[in-house]
Amino acid sequence: MLACESLHHEYLSGGKQLTVLKDITFQLEAGGFLAIIGPSGSGKTTLLGLLAGLDRPTAGRVVLDGVDLGPLDEDARARFRRQRVGFVFQSFQLIPTLTARENVQVPLELAGSNDAGPRADELLHRVGLSERSHHYPSQLSGGEQQRVAVARAFSTRPRILFADEPTGNLDAANGAIVIETMTALNVEYGTTLVLVTHEPDLAALARRTIRLADGAVVSDTGR
């Protein structure tokens, strides 16, 4: 499902070349649940962006669902993500002028789905928000907004879902609900899940954990 080979990434800052990632190599099977952990500045979010095709590595390659992302141009990578990839961000990224239901419908409508409404209703029910479907993001709590984001991420039944600190803006109770929902959908739909977090308790839920430090893999463990 996901393979990265000798990933290296650096960028220019203040006239100096900074190395963010160094020789990252691993594979993840379809339906797997991987947590990427490490201290702030270790390269977690940068790695996630490269794996999802949001950025290009300085060297190395990423193969996602059998497709080498390297040769694809920006438009082709955007189409690929729309068809096969889901995202959950720390900051929810909901469209403020749309209701919860409409936010979930957006990726379905972009994909040309003819059952966007019923599918959105089904997923909002799945995350326990049927009665809040016509509320706008400003009328929802942080935990409710993130559950809408999870429903949206799973709406197109993506082959893989990337989550960047999905509980970072939530209290413990709401964070637990969001993660329980994500892991249940991971099993139910067979969606591969890659989670970036700095929280050990959250990482412990994953079936495999990769720890980064100073841009390099320092451990790779499964359970």
Q: Is residue 7 part of a domain?
A: no
DSSP state of 132: G
Q: Is residue 4 part of a domain?
A: no
- Tokens for 88, please give them: 């959950």
**Closest of 185, 188, 222 to residue 205, by C-alpha:** 222
Q: Is residue 61 part of a domain?
A: no
Burial tier of 72 (Cβ tally within 10 Å: 0-12, 13-18, 19+): middle
Max CA-CA distance within the chain? 53
- Tokens for 205, please give them: 């839920």
pTM of the full predicted structure? 0.88
Classified as helix, coil or strand, 84 is helix
Classified as helix, coil or strand, 135 is coil
Q: Is residue 144 part of a domain?
A: yes
User: Residue 29 has what pLDDT?
Assistant: 93
Q: Which domain does 215 fall in, by range?
A: 30-56+83-222
Q: Is residue 15 part of a domain?
A: no
* Residues 122, 202: Cα–Cα separation, whole Å: 27
Q: Is residue 105 part of a domain?
A: yes
Q: Is residue 192 part of a domain?
A: yes
CA angle 121/125/127 to nearest 5° reads 120
- Strands of the sheet containing 2-13, edge to edge, are 16-28, 2-13, 59-64, 67-68
Cβ neighbours around 90 below 10 Å, total: 18
* Residues 99, 186: Cα–Cα separation, whole Å: 25
* Helix ranges restricted to H, the chain: 44-51, 74-84, 100-110, 116-126, 142-154, 172-189, 200-203
For the chain, helix (H) and strand (E) counts, in that order, are 7, 10
Q: What is the pLDDT along the chain (223 residues), one digit of tens a residue?
A: 899 999 999 987 777 888 999 999 999 999 899 999 998 889 999 999 999 999 999 999 999 999 999 999 999 998 898 888 988 888 888 999 999 999 999 988 888 888 898 999 999 998 889 999 999 999 999 889 988 998 999 888 889 999 998 888 888 777 888 888 888 878 888 889 999 988 787 888 889 999 999 999 999 998 5
Q: Is residue 6 part of a domain?
A: no
User: Residue 223 has what pLDDT?
Assistant: 59
Domain count for the chain, please give it. Answer: 1
**CATH number for the domain including 133?**
3.40.50.300
